[in-house]
Chain A
Amino acid sequence: MPLMNAERVYAWLLRAYPERFRARFEESMRDTFVRDWAGTRTGGPLRCARFWIDTAGQAVWFGLAERRETPRAHPLGVFMRSLFAVDWRDAVRSLRATPVVTAIAVLSLALGVGANTALFSILNSLILKSLPVREPERLVMIDKGSWTNPIWEQIKERRQQIWLDAFAWSGNRFDLSTQGQTDIVPGAWVSGNMFDVLGVRAAAGRLFTIADDARSGGPSGPVAVVSHGFAERRFNGASQALGKRLMVDRLAVTVVGVTPRDFFGLDVGRSADVMLPINVHALQQNGVRDLDQRSMWWLEVMGRLKPDQTIEQAEAVLRGVQPQIREATLPQDWSAKDQAEYLKEAFALVPATTGQSNLRDTYSTPLKTIMVVVSAVLLIACANIANLLLARASARRRELSLRLALGASRFRLARQLLAESLILGAGGAALGLVVAGWIGSVLVRQLATPTNAVMLDLSIDWRVLGFTAAVAMATSFIFGLAPALGVSRVAPHEAIKAEGRGVIGDRRFGLRNVLVVGQLALSLALVVGAALFARTLSALVSSPLGFDADRLLIATVDAPDAIGEKDRGAFYGRVRDAAAALPGVEHATVSMLTPIGGMRWNTNIDPSADVPEPPKKIHPWVNSVEPGWFKTFGPSILQGRDFDARDRAGAPRVTIVSQAFVKTFFGGANPVGKRLKTGVEGPKVEMLEIIGVASDTVYRSLRAGFEPTMYIPMAQQDEGSSSTVLTVRAASGPPEALTRGLGQAIISVDPAATFTIRPFSTQLRSAVRQERLVAMLGGLFGGLALLLAAIGLYGVTSYSVTRRRGEIGIRMALGANPVGVVRLIMARVSGLMIAGIVVGGAIAWWASKYVATLLFGLGPRDPITFVMAVAVLAVAGALAGWLPARRAARIDPVRVLRES
């Protein structure tokens, strides 16, 4: 904690002291404190922690003590003092007298508060936290995706005319390997002035300057900046990283600096471990082409507003220079219509205080949903604790009425009970923070995929602490209020009365019923939600892929630099042949992309003779494949033929389209022999002849299902790609067994090739990770809610059986049979259940529309799901009611009569 902040915190703590004391000592105390802290803070975290605990404890304790001794206090002070004038030791003693109740209360609170805090801390770091940079509130971003480097260069020239300054960056994944298995780290291309504009200072060495951001590599050659975490992992510390050489995508760079520990880049959820200046890309293969490419959209552009400049003013200036920028960067090879649109499209600015995040876009809704779910669970837990405390309060009626009889005020007794609740709340919250750390890290691990590490800063900040404290206070009052209010109905003369008499008509019992109905209702809503999510997941997992995903092993292979662009096709052919020759491999193929692999490629279909009016806005997906792709993955060729050796470079251009494509563009008529005009092959459009129709496969995601897709032969692609995917199908058994052999086969073709191998099933699993997470958490918390509600129902029923023991005994003595007694109790349980189901059904009906976007294959008010949820609740409720009912039926009337 910096000195200034520490003093501010201490000054705040000093408010515990009375005015008079502060007037005299505050200045001195602050000075003494600051010096003492300066001597302590270097003494290690343990000493610091002890220092703060002592400091805070003493400030509050002595402050309040001084207040009590201050003779003439402010009326508000008198009231505050009366609130704190509680015998805390008495409260603790009373809680320790019922250790089981206390333990259950604290533990269930810890779980509830912990789950809430964990979710909140994730939402906090994903959505609320500002970037750790200078004045993040003045950062703005050009909206709607990414920009080309020529556009950025135009903006760069004018950046100080528009804003105070601006910078660009692009999240990327870099390969640090030189050969063999790839070594992928998350990283970013950044403009040379980015760190200056952000106001981020190096933890070691230096960060980039404008001079570093040059196509020739800058004065110190090509340089890199690495994150603090990366420096510690790879080089055992920030200072050791300086001057080290790294191979980044096969370019040797020198590490010149390390970013601060709390800086993870601008993409929240990803840690940019290795950063390179944008123009250094020119030194890599195809780099100059990428940098000058007018239709490669890869850079994000952020600006810092001038003091007193509003976002609207900046936007107006930006739009003023927009015509020049657009004119200078017009993609020459576009059609006239597209160019006109390009010139027209207006730049817009949005605030960028919290940075930018793909993770945020994907997980905002699911996480908020789960946040609502966990707060409902906490409410249910609170109702249970309230019930528990109410039962405890009625057991303590004698004690309380004795105190009243001896002259204690009702207010004082209520305060005493509230104090006990506050202790429970504080204990639950403290334990909850521990639970939260644990739940939080498990959750963050679930957000990650094999190819995408997730990095979220879940450290506990003032927001999280404030949230937890607020939740603890609120819950203590929620469950503490009922027993405290109950004090008003305790009469002083009750202490002298015998126990067990005159207890009929206890009105607090009504309150307990209301609590149970509330619990049942909320848990029904959560069970409905859990069932909706579970059915969504199962619908997705069982939705058809259009191919057989078992036994597939995929390897992303990068050709060595030594192999020129022209020879890459041959290289991948050799790799495929080597893989196909492996024992245990049934088929092998090479393609640009794999289904649901995260990479996408689409094109537009332009009007032509065979397709006079292609539907607008539908852009079919494209994959470029080698012959054998269909055999390996499994879709069948329904009409026409598969690709074969005839489809070489120079031969007439051909394509195979999917059924969905035929339906969309040809209304289902046989398209074989028809010709397409597409954007696939750039400006020198050659028509593509359709030679076949393949059965549908999933391309983008399971949710998107079958979409119009076209395949083109790899050999006919103009530019050989530097990276492709090799897919093999195992003849039998798990494909993982082939991993070693496949790696060796690739190395045998060229030892300088780099590759990553994984089974296709992992890709499939990560495609539904969001749904799996929501279903898992929904099920977990729905189950927990159900359990808590059942316990609540059991508690209330069991309590009522105990209280009506005399009555039931007499009924049985008068001839009621056990079945009748069970019916008597169960009638009451059914009443509560029906009320709960009606209220809960209404809540679920209303709330489910908010989760509609998370569902797949069923509507938010799916009747089967509702019926299922009601059935589950009914079974749980019947069980919770039946246990005490059975006990009631076994009451021995003789004993009951003898006792009274």
Chain B
Amino acid sequence: MDISPPLKPAALHILRALADGDSHGYAIMVAVREQSGGEIPLQTGSFYRHLSRLIADGLVDEAARRRNGDDDPRRGTYYRLTPRGRQRLATERRRLAGLVAALGTASSRKNV
């Protein structure tokens, strides 16, 4: 059982975005903004702070290859989800689903 504290929403969104495949800094940031419907207004500074934490915790790693070959106009690194990261994402998903279910029951009971 994973005993680490729950992930912050922004970090969770980053993992979620990377679950679709290796990606590039700006693309991940934009994906997070869209996934969260603008709820998480990541900017370059805050985004890389979260990313560096995730790398330090071993959930994300730098991807070795560049997807578009050498003519890729984008500079900088691609990132990928580590197996631990994938596992952690699943754990969080279960935890949150449980939480939502519990909240749902609580509110329906109240409505009775």
Which residues of A come within 8 Å of B, CB atoms?
10, 21, 24-25, 27-33, 35-36, 51, 54-55, 57-59, 61-62, 65-66
* Complex partner residue of A21 from B29, B43, B47, B52, CB under 8 angstroms: B52
Known: A55-B44, A57-B45. 20 other contacts (CB 8 A): A10-B44, A25-B52, A27-B75, A27-B77, A28-B48, A29-B48, A29-B76, A30-B75, A31-B26, A31-B74, A32-B26, A32-B29, A32-B47, A32-B76, A35-B26, A36-B29, A51-B43, A61-B45, A62-B45, A62-B49
Distance of A761 from chain B, by nearest CB (Å): 60
Q: Which residues of chain B are within 8 angstroms of A28 by Cβ–Cβ distance?
A: 25, 48, 75-77
Query: Whole-angstrom distance from the CB of A787 to the nearest CB of chain B?
Result: 45
| Interchain CB contact under 8 A, B75 and A36 | no
Q: Are B52 and A36 closer than 8 Å at their CB atoms?
A: no
Among B45, B47, B74, find the residue whose CB has the most chain A CB atoms closer than 10 A: B45
Measured in the bound complex, the distance between the Cα atoms of B46 and A61 in whole Å is 10
Please report the C-alpha to C-alpha distance between residue A28 and residue B46 in the assembled complex, in whole angstroms: 13
Whether B48 contacts A25 by the Cβ 8 Å rule is yes
Which B residues between 5 and 64 are near A, CB-CB below 8 angstroms? 25-26, 29, 43-49, 51-52
B25 contacts A31, CB within 8 Å? yes
Contacting pair B76 A30 (CB below 8 A): yes
- When distances are taken between beta carbons in the complex, the residues of chain A under 8 Å from B25 are 28-29, 31-32
Q: Most chain-A Cβ atoms within 10 A of its Cβ — which of B44, B76, B77? A: B44
Q: Which residues of A contact B48 (CB under 8 A)?
A: 25, 28-29, 32, 62
Contact among B43, B49, B51 with A66 in the assembled complex (CB-CB below 8 Å): B49
Residues in chain B near residue A24, CB distance under 8 A: 52
A54→B46 CA distance, assembly (Å)? 10
Number of interface residues of B (CB under 8 A): 16
Complex: A57 Cα to B44 Cα, angstroms = 11
Check if A36 sits within 8 Å of B44, measured CB to CB.
Answer: yes
Q: For B26, what are the chain A residues with a Cβ–Cβ distance below 8 Å?
A: 31-32, 35-36
Compute how far the CA of A30 lies from the CA of B29 in the bound complex, rounded to whole angstroms: 13
- Nearest first, the 3 closest Cβ-Cβ pairs linking A and B are A58-B45, A28-B76, A32-B25
State A27–B25 Cα separation when bound (angstroms): 10
B44 touches which of A27, A29, A61, A66 (Cβ 8 Å): A29
Interface of chain B, main secondary structure: helix
Residues in A neighbouring B47, C-beta threshold 8 A = 32
A567 to chain B, nearest CB (A): 74
Shortest beta-carbon distance from A457 to chain B in Å: 32
From B46, B74, B75, B77, give the contact of A62 (CB < 8 A): B46
Q: How many A-B residue pairs have CB under 8 A?
A: 59
A29 to B26, CA, bound (A): 8
Task: Give chain B's interface residues, CB within 8 Å of chain A.
Answer: 25-26, 29, 43-49, 51-52, 74-77
Contact of B43 among A25, A27, A31, A55 (CB under 8 A): A55
B75 contacts A31, C-beta separation under 8 Å: yes
Residue from B43, B48, B52, B74 whose CB has the most chain A CB atoms within 10 Å: B48
Complex CA gap A54/B52 in Å reads 19
| Cβ-closest chain A residue relative to B62 | A24
Check A58/B52 contact, CB under 8 A, given A28-B77, A31-B25, A31-B76.
Answer: no
Residue contact B76 to A54, C-beta cutoff 8 Å: no
Q: For B43, what are the chain A residues with a Cβ–Cβ distance below 8 Å?
A: 36, 51, 54-55, 58
Q: How far is the CA of A51 from the CA of B42 in the complex (A)?
A: 11
A-B contact pairs, 19 of them (CB 8 A): A24-B52, A27-B77, A28-B75, A31-B25, A31-B74, A32-B25, A32-B76, A33-B44, A36-B43, A54-B43, A54-B45, A55-B43, A55-B45, A57-B45, A58-B44, A58-B46, A59-B45, A62-B46, A62-B48
B contact residues around A31 at 8 Å (CB): 25-26, 74-76
| Separation of A863 and B44 alpha carbons in the complex (Å) | 66
On chain B, the residues within 8 Å of A10 by CB distance are 44
Q: Chain A residues near B51: list those with CB within 8 A.
A: 25
Taking CB atoms, residues of chain B closer than 8 Å to A51 are 43
Task: Decide yes or no: A32 and B52 within 8 Å by CB, A27-B75, A27-B76 being known contacts.
Answer: no
How far is it, in angstroms, between the C-alpha of A61 and the C-alpha of B74 when the chains are bound?
A: 27
- Inter-chain CA distance A541–B48, complex, in Å, is 68
Cα(A599)–Cα(B72), bound, Å: 67
Separation of A58 and B48 alpha carbons in the complex (Å): 10
Query: A380 to chain B: closest CB distance in Å?
Result: 41
How far apart sit A228 and B5, CA to CA, in the bound complex (Å)? 60
**Which of A28, A51, A65, A66 has the largest number of chain B CB atoms within 10 A?**
A28
B76: which A residues are within 8 A, CB to CB?
27-32
State the Cβ distance, B8 to closest chain A Cβ, in Å: 14
User: Measured between alpha carbons, how far is A711 from B55 in the docked complex, in Å?
Assistant: 91
How far, in angstroms, from A36 to B52 measured CA to CA in the complex?
Answer: 19
Q: How far is A24 from B46 in the complex, measured between Cα atoms in Å? A: 15
CB proximity of B33 to chain A, nearest CB, Å: 10
Which residues of chain B are within 8 angstroms of A32 by Cβ–Cβ distance? 25-26, 29, 44, 47-48, 76
B30 smallest CB distance to A (angstroms): 8
**Which B residues touch A54, using CB under 8 A?**
43, 45
Chain A residues with Cβ below 8 Å from B46 are 58, 62
Q: Closest CB-CB distance, A147 to chain B, in whole Å?
A: 53
Nearest CB of chain A from residue B62's CB, rounded to whole Å: 8
B16 to chain A, nearest CB (A): 18
- Nearest Cβ on chain B to A194's Cβ, whole angstroms: 39
Shortest Cβ gap from B88 to chain A (Å): 21
- Give B28's nearest chain A residue, CB to CB: A32
The chain B residue with its CB closest to the CB of A60 is: B45
A185 to chain B, nearest CB (A): 47
In the complex, what residues of B have CB within 8 A of residue A21's CB? 52
Q: In whole angstroms, what is the CA distance A51 to B76 when docked?
A: 22
CA distance A28 to B45 in the complex (A): 11
Q: Which residue of A lies closest to B55 (CB)?
A: A24
What CA separation (Å) do A59 and B48 show in the bound complex?
10
Give Cα distance in the complex from A32 to B46, angstroms.
12
Q: Kindly provide the distance from the CB of A60 to the nearest chain B CB, expressed in whole angstroms.
A: 9
Closest to B29 in A: A32
By a CB distance below 8 angstroms, the chain B residues around A57 are: 45
Shortest CB-to-CB span from A68 to chain B, Å, is 13
Chain B's closest residue to A26 (CB) is: B76
Chain B residues with CB under 8 A of A58: 43-46, 49
Minimum CB–CB distance for A572 against chain B, Å: 71
A66→B49 CA distance, assembly (Å): 8
Interchain nearest-CB distance for A559 vs B (Å) = 67
Cβ of A3 to closest chain B Cβ, rounded Å? 13
Query: From residue A28, how far is it (CB to closest CB) to chain B in Å?
Result: 3
A31 to B26, CA, bound (A): 7
Least CB distance, B91 to chain A, in whole angstroms: 25
CB-CB nearest in chain B for A58: B45
Closest chain B residue to A24, Cβ basis: B52
Q: Complex: how many Å from CA A12 to CA B49?
A: 18
